[in-house]
Chains A and B, each alone.
Chain A
Amino acid sequence: MTTPFSVDKDAPHRRCLVGNEPVILHCHHFNTYLQQTLLDAEYIDTTKILIGAANEMAFHQLSDIFSRQDTADVAERKELASRLYQWAGFGKIDLSLLKKDGGTLATRQSHYSQAWKVKLGKATRPVDFFTAGWLTGALSAVYGLAQDEFSVIQEKCMAKGDEQNVFSLTPGGNNYSVYHSAKGGELAAQVLQETTSPLDEDAIFDALQGLPLVGDDQTGLIEAFGVILTHHYANYYNRISFEFERELAAQFGTDGMEIAEPLLVESGHVCAFNTFGGIMKSMMWQGLIQPQLATKEDWVHGIIACVYALGWGRWQAVGISRDEARFVIHNDYESIGFRAMYGKADHNISYLAMGSAMGIMDLVYVGNIEEHPELNPAFYEKLFKGKESYQAKVVKSLAMGDPYTEIHVF
């Protein structure tokens, strides 16, 4: 799929930017679990955060692309935005249905609604907050209007059992929180550690970059490695996680923050289990990576090499054994985003990284992923409810002022 927008790869930092927004690969397990965590807190209006963060991403990304391309034609802008939405795997939309005075848009292809139904079952309310917010930001960018010109209501949702998702946009003001984009953020200098990896990691990175991971022409979804992937916005995840945490802290102090942490970490755990597990069982893994692996420690290095292609920053693993490992992460997207949004952190915020690092160790040493177990909920429960499951502690945090983030898994 050729794209009418530039996908800027920053290979040394293992990052990818589109319209000056960092874009990362994440699966439907992560997307739905994280959203469920926010919705569980019914005493906070988290829908305003979810919709507002998507509005922020679409508005700033598309405004940047339109400005760089000097594209003023409304129809052309709508076409570009619709194609970007599909490329990212969010589903399919036809923005030509919406006008300067808003309107109604229906679609039968939506990552969030379809993923919710697949993973969590039938929803009791509309759940595609992402698309709702994305449409408001996109339409404002298309017409060169204020970021929060449109309010939005999702009237129908496939996750509830409706045949399609239906969104209504109305001009005259928002019904969500309004955020200003943190963009790419400021990167720290990378001083790479010596590792025992037997792999040609750059070659693997190059090979993975060549995989056709883009939204399908018919469905707008990216189905790969047994999961449904998205080229999502790093700062969407950052915004919803950190704003959620701040709301909890404002209402309940440290109690609120302590309660959020295990669930935000679990999102990463769920992601590692499904996406990394799926990668380690894939034909790509068996052909490209597995022939170079001799030990379980090599398997850890192997999946780290794949993490490079996700845009999560430059990961390294050192001191790996069955007992422990240290995951050194240069420019993890959570730290970069936090610093750009709020300045230096006073506590650890690398939740996804913690969960993912634990998940890698659990898959390799507890789950014996090399034996190709079936990655189902029963195996997940066995793996992660058991006493053998790994723990993690952040010992260095880029967000808190350290030169990189380091997670001790034990």
Chain B
Amino acid sequence: MVGNKGKLFRVLKWLEDEGEAKAIARLRMKILPFSVQESIVINRVDRTTTCTDRLLKEARKAATEIVGKPCPC
């Protein structure tokens, strides 16, 4: 089900603040099959973007791995 308005944006914002210089680029690489499936361009995600639970879960998992601590979003 598509929903979760703004949640993916919050994950990305947290990653940008907490992660390394190319953290967002790494997340894009990690979740590419899922974002492509939902036609979501990560660099264009904003507060209004919606996504499935699955994509959100993959994004949180990737953000957690990249930063090295649990994504709180």
Contacts and interface: CB of A to CB of B under 8 A. Distances in A.
Given A121-B68, A381-B20, A263 B25 contact: yes
Nearest to B42: A259
Most buried by B among A40, A41, A251: A40
7 cross-chain pairs, A with B, having the tightest CB-CB distances, nearest first: A384-B21, A262-B25, A266-B22, A40-B29, A385-B21, A259-B28, A43-B33
A43 B26 contact: no
A36 to B, nearest CB: 8
B29 A381 contact: no
Given A381-B21, A385-B21, A252 B36 contact: yes
B32 interface: yes
B30 interface: yes
Contacts of B25: 259, 262-263, 266
A381 B33 CA distance: 28
Interface of B: 20-22, 25-26, 28-30, 32-33, 36, 68
A391 interface: no
Contact of B30 (A42, A256, A377): A42
A121 B69 CA distance: 13
Nearest to A41: B29
Contacts of A107: none
Contacts of A262: 22, 25
Contacts of A377: 20
A380 interface: yes
A29 to B, nearest CB: 12
A371 interface: no
15 contacts: A40-B30, A41-B30, A42-B30, A43-B32, A248-B32, A252-B32, A259-B28, A259-B29, A259-B32, A260-B29, A262-B25, A263-B29, A269-B21, A381-B21, A385-B21
Judged by DSSP, the binding face of A is: helix
Nearest to B33: A43
Interface residues of A, number: 22
A37 interface: yes
B34 to A, nearest CB: 9
Given A42-B30, A269-B21, 19 more contacts: A37-B29, A41-B29, A41-B30, A41-B32, A43-B33, A252-B32, A259-B25, A259-B32, A260-B29, A262-B22, A262-B25, A263-B22, A263-B29, A266-B25, A377-B20, A380-B21, A381-B21, A384-B21, A385-B21
Nearest to A37: B29
Contacts of A380: 21
A255 interface: yes
A121 B20 CA distance: 15
Nearest to B62: A40
A263 B29 CA distance: 9
Interface in A229-264: 248, 251-252, 255-256, 259-260, 262-263
